[in-house]
Amino acid sequence: MDTLFTAAKHTHTLFVVLLILSQAAYFAIYKESDFIRFYKKLGNLLLIQNILLGIVLFTGLLMLSVLKFEVWSPSVVLMIFVITGVFVHQILINKKRKPIRSDAIEEQRLYKNWVAKVYGAEILAEIVVFLIAVML
């Protein structure tokens, strides 16, 4: 069981870092001037992030099940809270992305800025929880 827990912990940590990097990748496509290209790139980025979120959730649940759901530290509760928030934001980002038309320039600008704020907050929250988990 020790080997399974260690492998799950390393996998979990790796995919959390990849999730943070994929969220930071939004700022690379943020500067895209053509909204149609931006739309397609964001759709691909959201797909990648959803896969990474699934892996992070699975490995986290695997570690909790190996520990028989007996370890409930503040860092575990924070991790669950943050991953729930990230899932909700992913749904909102995708839902608000769909109805934007290609000729609505102001809506596009507002959407891009809102998504940048959401990803900035998510990245900050994930890094803070990651550092808390490492320190405890």
Domain boundaries, the chain: 2-135
Question: pTM of this prediction?
Answer: 0.84
- pLDDT on residue 88: 93
**pLDDT above 90 (res 69):** no
Binned at pLDDT 50, 70 and 90, residue 50 comes out as very high
Whole-number pLDDT of residue 63? 83
How high is the pLDDT of residue 114? 93
Task: For the chain, give the mean pLDDT.
Answer: 88
User: Is pLDDT of 52 > 90?
Assistant: yes
The Cα 29–Cα 37 span in angstroms is 9
pLDDT beyond 90 at 12: no
Structure tokens at 96: 């608000």
